[in-house]
Amino acid sequence: MVMPTGGGKSLCYQLPAALLSGQTVIVVSPLIALMQDQVAQLTQMGISAALLNSSVTGPAQGQIMHEAGKGRYRLLYLSPERLARPDTIEWLRNVPVSFFVIDEAHCISEWGHEFRPEYRQMSSLRINFPDRPIAAFTASATQRVRHDIIDQLQLRNPHKYIASFHRPNLHYMIRECVGREQSGLLMKALRTYADENVIVYAPTINKVEDTVDYLEQQGIPAVAYHGKMDSDTRRENQERWMADEVRVLVGTVAFGLGINKGAVRAVIHLSLPKSIEQFYQEAGRAGRDGQPADCVVLWQKRDVGLLTYFIEQLTDPSEKERAWKRYHAIRDFVQSKLCRHRQICLHFGESPKWRKCGACDACGFALDWLEHTVEPKHVEQGVPVRSSNVISRSDYSKPAGKPALADIDPELREYLREWRRATAKERGVPAYVVMHDTSLDELCRKRPGSLSELLDVSGFGERKSEMYGQKIFDALARFRNGSRATGEIDRKTRPGRHQKLRKSAGR
């Protein structure tokens, strides 16, 4: 199954798992943090789930394996390395497995942009469990990668569901920068998106940390995320961003897989992505709530040299050939004057009937912080177009059925956000596990006073309503009586915080 980031892939296997009593869905997932967050959310909803990876201690692993043998879990998450172990395969023979799920399945294919050799070993599933169904999910797979996934997993006459790759609420903007233009545009962007969630992607660890230093010097709080941080610091930074304690996260490509945050208003790349697939997946972390969001690439000529240098370091001829093809595809993409949305759809094997989207720079869309004027361009009939040449953030129209933030009391919104942060810290889970932004906004509009009214709020089932209902009612009552957000959470990184990150990176 190929569905875009935020399209609901997890629900496609979590819902059947919740309905299959006494059976277990085995989910193979590439990241420990992703598995931990999924298990935490499922547990909050009253769905029994567990994970087995290097983060679980020996005694706890033994207990989980024992419980799994009795069919106590609806979902069990494993790393691909764990699944590759012969003892894991033998143990799984005694688990009542309903079916297997391969998440981020593009990692199986050598033609995928995030190929991982350990994923290749999952071809043994068909040999060891010939009668168990296998489902593969990804957000970014070309036709060639899709065929490779089917071949590697030995899927027999599989049902293929491929959703459209068109994300109409995203605005794709490409800008080649010269001199110091990039840093100036980044500052203009982050001041435009003040108090909104932004992801900034940088090409190297040094660039990540230098960018965070620069932003802090300019009075913009930001946290870093990269692979050389110790895992605790990396996870803490991610959770601070997820909890809205800091609105800007600067990361390498190590950040983002499985990130479940709806209200990201912009994703900004400070270099040329390695491939169209990488750009599509990372840009797709914006606007998961369906509201308009901006995906901007601020690239420079020197990025070309960096990409070609990394390609030349590859020693395997086939791998180098694939890297060069991805490189030429992304170069053509950023330098082309054709519709960005259409180019992406065509790259993934989709042939849209329209030729212009009205939502990218090539089709006449513009951002006031990025450029001041733009020549009006013709847009084909039936495709939405903006009425003015330059589009400001305040000009955004809301998609049908999506409530505008203007309908929400901003003081109540911040008060409930503060309550959510405190509750999440108390329970030791990310803030979005307590509730997503969409649920929080609906609480602000509906202000429920009973459990039956709370059940009408999206994201609140019986389990979550029982868990948080009375506390939410109490918080709403305190707000009615004059309580407001204290603002005690420091919006800036803590003193000496970034220096500690440098030390952990070995610099």
Domain of residue 414, CATH code: 1.10.150.80
The first and second tokens of residue 458, run together, are 């999206």
Instruction: Please report which confidence band the pLDDT of residue 373 belongs to, taking 50, 70 and 90 as the band edges.
Output: very low
Residue 388, classified by CB atoms within 10 Å of its CB into exposed (0-12), middle (13-18) or buried (19+), is exposed
CA torsion through residues 110, 115, 116, 120, sign: negative
Domain of residue 201, CATH code: 3.40.50.300
Same-domain pairing of 115 and 219: no
Calculate mean pLDDT across residues 94-113: 93
pLDDT of residue 258: 65
Residue 386 pLDDT > 60:
no
Look at residue 486 and tell me if it is in a domain. Answer: no
pLDDT of residue 32: 81
pLDDT of residue 53: 87
Q: How many helices (H) and strands (E) does the chain have?
A: 21, 11
Same-domain pairing of 230 and 279: yes
Give the count of domains, the chain: 3
Look at residue 344 and tell me if it is in a domain. Answer: yes
Structural domain boundaries enclosing 80 = 9-152
CA distances from 33 to 48, 55, 250 (A): 18, 10, 18
Q: Share the mean pLDDT of the chain.
A: 87
Residue 393 pLDDT > 90:
no
pLDDT of residue 405: 61
Same-domain pairing of 328 and 243: yes
pLDDT in tens, 335-348: 999 999 999 999 99
pLDDT in tens, 406-434: 689 999 999 999 999 899 889 888 788 89
Calculate mean pLDDT across residues 77-95: 94
pLDDT of residue 432: 80
pLDDT of residue 433: 85
How many of the other CB atoms lie within 10 Å of CB of 47?
Answer: 17
Q: In what order do the strands lie in the sheet with 264-269?
A: 170-176, 293-299, 264-269, 197-201, 248-251, 222-225
**pTM higher than the cut 0.85:** no
Instruction: Please report which confidence band the pLDDT of residue 160 belongs to, taking 50, 70 and 90 as the band edges.
Output: very high
Look at residue 309 and tell me if it is in a domain. Answer: yes
Look at residue 504 and tell me if it is in a domain. Answer: no
Look at residue 1 and tell me if it is in a domain. Answer: no
Same-domain pairing of 147 and 26: yes
Q: Which of 333, 362, 397 is the last residue of a domain?
A: 397
